[in-house]
Amino acid sequence: MKILVTGGAGYIGSHTTILLMEAGYEVIVFDNFSNASKESIKRVEKIVGKDITLIEGDIRNKEDLQKVFQSHQIKSVIHFAGLKAVGESVEQPLKYYDNNISGTINLCEVMTENNCKSIIFSSSATVYGEPKTTPIDESFPTSATNPYGRSKLFIEEMLRDLYISDSSWKIVLLRYFNPVGAHESGTIGEDPNGIPNNLVPFIAQTAVGKRDYLRVWGDDYNTPDGTGVRDYIHVVDLAKGHVKALEKIDTFNKVMTINLGTGNGYSVLDMVQAFEKASEKKVPYKIMPRRAGDIATCYADPAYAKKILNWEAKRTIKEMCEDTWRWQKQNPNGYKDNE
């Protein structure tokens, strides 16, 4: 049973590949390495003790995709490949629409041509825009405030239309909340390019001494301590959600939209404290003005995932911080020292 994992060398893809292989699936990783290192795959191979079929290619290139489907019998695709930097998407919208949307159109066309009609897509809680209340369930209205978010919304709609046109498709749209953490071995993890935009990688780099201090974007939100509240989810829990979705996908023909979150919200300062405890390092911070486009509070109602996938996130904030710290400490420069 071969599973194609697009973007499988990236942060979430590499963790999911481990769990898929441990569950007995044969995995084909397809990646153009625009935001990943081959070293991550080498380390995944070491963790699972098996070789991985790795194909270097671009989802925007149909020939690259055709080769994969012609040389392998693919049962389902887990589609992680995409660009994800919100700020960059505002500056270079066409790059995002081309990579994320055109890439997904190509992928679905090649899948159709090869009669593979089963896909799990990486969507995001960003599609909820500024939610009126929390927790957020899957029926909440959707909207987008930047090209990255819009690319996720468009792809969701496109996949729904695809199903309407051909009901033999099986489609799962997974809306991730805030993935953090790393594999417990500390050998793979998130390796941001340049200065991290996201909170936990920035905290980790501050704790390890690569950054002087954390800028806390606003402490005047309507939250318990005034800083932004998010639903941080351990990447291994998130990866497990994909394995569960893959088990489920054979049992239905429809489009399923599922939140993957914990249902808990933590503030920026909660995360700073938890990380200081886990790392036994000080994380200095300064309160700054709000960051444009940020919302006060965002956390999931995870009940549907529990009901439909029999999945729930298990790992605590403590484990998220400890595992991030192990990865950061062992790899202060990410994969770059081994490239």
Q: Using the rule CB under 6 A, give the single segment among 20-28, 29-37, 270-278, 329-337 that binds ligand NAD.
A: 29-37
Query: Which residues 98-117 are close enough to bind ligand UFG by CB under 6 A?
Result: none
Element (H, E) at 221: none
Site for ligand UFG in 226-285 (CB under 6 A): 228, 230, 268
Query: With respect to ligand UFG, which residue has the nearer C-beta, 55 or 216?
Result: 216
Q: Which stretch binds ligand UFG (CB under 6 A): 45-53, 173-181, 205-213, 327-335?
A: 173-181
Q: Coil, strand or helix: which one is 54?
A: strand
Which member of 148, 221, 232, 299 is catalytic? 148
Task: Give the span between the Cα atoms of 166 and 254, in whole angstroms.
Answer: 10
State the Rg of the chain over Cα: 19
Q: Which of ligand NAD, ligand UFG, none does residue 294 bind to, with CB < 5 to 8 Å depending on kind?
A: ligand UFG
Per the omega criterion (within 30 degrees of 0), is the bond before 179 cis?
no
Tokens of 86: 């919100």
Q: How far is the CB of 57 from ligand UFG (least distance, A)?
A: 24
Is-contact 83 35, C-beta < 8 A? Answer: yes
Q: To which residue do tokens 């055109």 refer?
A: 102
Does 84 engage in binding with ligand UFG (CB under 6 A)?
yes
Judged by CB under 6 A, does residue 263 bind ligand NAD?
no
Does 325 bind ligand UFG (CB under 6 A)? Our answer is: no
Number of helices and strands in the chain (H, E): 12, 14
Rounded to 5°, the CA angle 276-194-48 comes to 70
Region from 3-11, 212-220, 261-269, 305-313 binding ligand NAD, contact rule CB under 6 A? 3-11
Site string for ligand NAD, 119-138 (x = CB under 6 A): ---x-x--------------
Residue 76 DSSP SS3: strand
Q: In what helix (H) or strand (E) does residue 121 lie, and over which residues does it extend?
A: strand 118-124
Cβ contact 322:316 at 8 Å: no
User: Rounded to the nearest whole angstrom, what is the least distance from the CB of residue 119 to ligand NAD in the complex?
Assistant: 13
43, 36 Cβ separation under 8 angstroms: no
Is residue 58 at the binding interface for ligand NAD, with CB under 6 A as the rule? yes
Check if 232 is active-site.
no
Query: Do residues 134 and 298 lie in contact, with contact meaning Cβ atoms separated by under 8 Å?
Result: yes
* Residue found under tokens 């939250």: 223
Q: How many residues bind ligand NAD (CB under 6 A)?
A: 27
Q: By CB under 6 A, name the one of 5, 11, 47, 279 that touches ligand NAD.
A: 11
Q: Which positions are catalytic?
A: 148
Task: Give me the residues that bind ligand UFG (CB under 6 A), please.
Answer: 84, 86, 124-126, 176-178, 197-199, 202, 214-217, 228, 230, 268, 291, 294
